[in-house]
Structure 1
């Protein structure tokens, strides 16, 4: 399904200015789900990649829909970890464009199974200011905002400002000193809470603590360093996703865990 959203979305009333238009493609029912917004660096560390995947997967397993911005890095990993059918990607451009191009396959699968949203005309091409507009909508849709990793002067920190203006709680990961100066600053100023245990974080959205495991048959298979052809033959859909999430690398025709 594709069209314009005519009915007012309650969570978006927290925005400074309610969107003049809101186009969608996909499953609008996801807007009725409990949602968590996950954002962060386009160049996450291996630790951030793993934690983003684990967190979005754990939330998705208990029915929480993941919202992010469709960008490279943390955004793409959060979408993929949630699964295409349980995620909302908010675009900085019109629905006719799949940007960035490296995420075209991911965004197309979200369009088919999940939900794409845009505040722009279908043929609109992303500009610097449209990313800021996109970021505000990402924040507004979520119950809370999770900033996985961020530099001081980054779009993620502007998103954190939106969250503070909207009165939303912000959560961050513990990082090594100097690795994520933006989230360190949020903690220093008392503007964010630490996620020290994924189970405990997820439990606040389920009302009870739920054991969360991350056993992944595909990743176990990758420990044997199979050839790329073997991996694609046995897990045709997982190779691309895992590579996008930064969980594996393909080198000299073989698969390696990161």
Structure 2
């Protein structure tokens, strides 16, 4: 998506209503825009699509008053909403296929357009891990890089605190006004004053466990590369590393003792091909070899192709639903299993998501809703 002009007030209301509509995730949002040309036209078409797909269940579209209240509350808080089509949307994040439709920004929005690197790791970090995070972050900041992290305890907090003076971006799982964890209330205030806070969630929303993978996707999407300092074998930081690789970002990891479970994940990343880094100098050497234009999401897969507007027979809907699994799988595999074209699968999956029967996910994946 290329940057366009700022939205008018009416367009912003339509954009936000569509983004906040029940069962409309980033993929379905992008599909609807592509099919109907504007958020307003997509909103007009939604009841008919939902009626056809939802077997009588109505879709919940926010009223204009609801999104007006969100826009007003966000403004009173000192933040603002930015759509993915607008010029001041973070440029690296815009390259994702698809990007989050709307973000709330609090602080210095220009930081997201600077050279960026994500620093993530364990919440229960060791003293050595915390020092490494501070030293690496400070070194990157001194070299002109803005750090991006998730405001969590441990490694995230150390990275933010070490780069308050040089530039740091905190990405939240909840609304822009929801400080989590509460222990970082002061750090949140310092970042809001001198850095940038980013959220995909509505104002007033309190984060749930399922929201943090979306937050992690934004952390890596905002960054040229991601450095994992400490991570257990099953941790959110490893999810971030996987997302970074899928997004075409450079994945780097700090090695640790094989006897420390907090290093098991980072050591595994290095074994699997992530770049080994020991200090900020190593990170800078790797990042200096990347051109800005090289850092982008892979080309859109078949799911991002224009949907087929032809009427969809119920037997085809049943075939796609039967092919879905609770585990995400590539759209081209679903198309192959059902014998349907990618565009027809895209149309059916969009309708199944609106009816609450399927989930469409970034990266050309889909799953059965559970």
- The TM-score range, normalised by the shorter chain, is 0.7 to 0.9
| CA-CA distance at 1:18 after TM superposition | 1.4
Higher helix fraction: Structure 1 or Structure 2? 2
Higher Cα Rg, which structure: 2
Query: What is the deviation of 1:205?
Result: 5.1
Whether 2:272 is the aligned partner of 1:195: answer no
Show structure 1 runs of 4+ deviating over 4 A: 203-207
Correspondence 1:67 to 2:148: yes
The question of whether the paired residues in 2 share the 8 Å contact of 1:95 and 1:116 is answered with: yes
Aligned to 1:17: 98
**Residue correspondence of structure 1 range 75-224 to structure 2 within 5 A:** 75-83=156-164, 86-179=167-260, 180-190=263-273, 192-203=274-285
Give structure 1 stretches of 5+ with no counterpart: 208-258
Structure 1 match to 2:117: 36
Cα separation, partners in 2 of 1:90 and 1:4, compared to 1, 3 Å: same
- Equivalent in the alignment of 1:2: 79
Q: What whole-Å deviation, never above 9, does each CA across 1:148-207 have from its counterpart, x for those lacking one?
A: 1111111111111101111211111121113211111111122x1111343243355579
Instruction: Provide, for residues 74-119 of structure 1, a one-character-per-residue CA deviation record: whole Å limited to 9, x for no partner.
Output: 0000000112561000000101111110000001110111100000
More off after superposition, 12-21 vs 163-172: 12-21
Please give the per-residue CA displacement for 1:132-159, whole angstroms capped at 9, x wherever unaligned.
Answer: 1100000111110101111111111111
CA contact (8 A) 1:98 1:108 kept: no
Taking a change above 3 Å as real, the CA distance of residues 161 and 16 of structure 1, as seen in their structure-2 partners, is: farther
The TM-score normalised by the length of structure 1 is: 0.75
Q: Is the 8 A contact 1:37 1:67 kept in 2?
A: yes
Over the residues paired in the alignment, what is the CA RMSD in angstroms? 1.7
1:211-243: CA deviation from partner (whole Å, max 9, x where unpaired):
xxxxxxxxxxxxxxxxxxxxxxxxxxxxxxxxx
Does the 8 Å CA contact 1:52/1:77 hold for their aligned counterparts?
A: yes
Cα 1:26–1:20, aligned 2, differ >3 Å: closer, same or farther? same
Distance 2:144 2:228 in 1: 20
Counterpart-to-counterpart distance in 1, 2:278 and 2:186: 33
Quote the Cα distance in structure 2 between the aligned partners of 1:163 and 1:144: 7
